[in-house]
Amino acid sequence: MRNLDENTITEAVLARHAQATDERLKHIVTSLVKHLHAFAREVNLTESEWEAGIRFLTEVGHITDEHRQEFILLSDTLGLSMLVTALAHRKPAGCTEATVFGPFFVDNAPPYNNGDDVANGAPGEPCFVSGAVRGPNGEAVSGARIEVWQADAKGLYDVQYNDTGTHRARGVLHSLPDGRYHFRSIVAEPYPIPHDGPVGRMLDALGRHPWRPAHLHFMITAPGYERLVTHVFREGDRYLDSDAVFGVRSSLIAQWHRHPAGTAPDGTAMATPYSTLEFDFVLNRST
């Protein structure tokens, strides 16, 4: 087809998909083309703006590596990650809500036993975390795999340091026969997402801040139940209503209780103040 113009090019592109054998791929790309073309027409996209967009995406790709996922940051800050999460994880009332995965998960986190200190030297005020993993009818979920990770008091994850040979504030443990779990870590603090790259420049240009409210990441898996990826957010954090990645849910906000120096829940003598967090998770049954 020749001599296409602004009124005919969209249908010409869509016609090229007619022989696609993967119907789902055809549906997705067809819709993508329609929306991209409609967007360009709606804003009357100029060539210089198109070139700036290409440069931006190229920069996002260049800064992405095994330690930094700028494309996930872009998806997160545009609300796409949370939208996909919400679409994919509709749950019955009473089940723990899912939220964004985030860009700092890593495979092969170190294993820990209940009661261990997963902080492993990460800076921050001590915090003792406990709770239970249950099913929708209140049944204890024994042996659930609980993966936890968080930023330290400096607002950094272990993988953001140059000396990434040791995992800190990250680990895997399993729920006990009664469904309960407990471990020691550090107090969650608010922190900015990495904003020294193209996504940060985008936020700045839009008058947005890069901050996330304090939280712990959890990923919980158990046979017969859906995988749960979620956060537990710290009550009272000033960024709860303006999370840079739109991940906050009221049901995921909990109170960190601060205690003076003394005896911790596990019997440890604490010479400094410490905090405790209690949070139960309710998994949805898999279908």
Q: What span, in angstroms and rounded, lies between the C-alpha atoms of 48 and 39?
A: 16
Q: 214-248, pLDDT tens digit by residue?
A: 999 999 999 999 999 999 999 999 999 999 999 99
Q: What span, in angstroms and rounded, lies between the C-alpha atoms of 257 and 144?
A: 26
Which of 104, 95, 126 is CA-nearest to residue 256? 126
pLDDT confidence band for 2 (50 / 70 / 90): confident
Per-residue pLDDT at 165 exceeds 90: no
Centre a 10 Å sphere on the Cβ of residue 241 and count the other Cβ atoms it contains: 8
Three-class DSSP category at 85: helix
Per-residue pLDDT at 184 exceeds 90: yes
CATH of domain 74-282: 2.60.130.10
Q: 134-144, pLDDT tens digit by residue?
A: 999 999 999 99
Whole-model pTM? 0.90
Q: 84-108, pLDDT tens digit by residue?
A: 999 999 999 999 999 998 878 888 8
Q: Which residues, in sequence order, are CB contacts of 116 under 8 Å at separation 6+?
A: 171, 173, 183, 184
pLDDT of residue 164: 59
Q: 35-77, pLDDT tens digit by residue?
A: 999 999 999 999 999 999 999 999 999 999 887 889 999 999 9
Q: What is the sign of the dihedral through the CA atoms of 125, 130, 131 and 133? A: positive
Of all residues in the chain, the percent with pLDDT exceeding 70 is: 99
Task: Let me know: does 220 contact 283? Beta carbons within 8 Å.
Answer: yes
Q: 249-275, pLDDT tens digit by residue?
A: 999 999 999 999 999 999 999 999 999
Three-class DSSP category at 23: helix
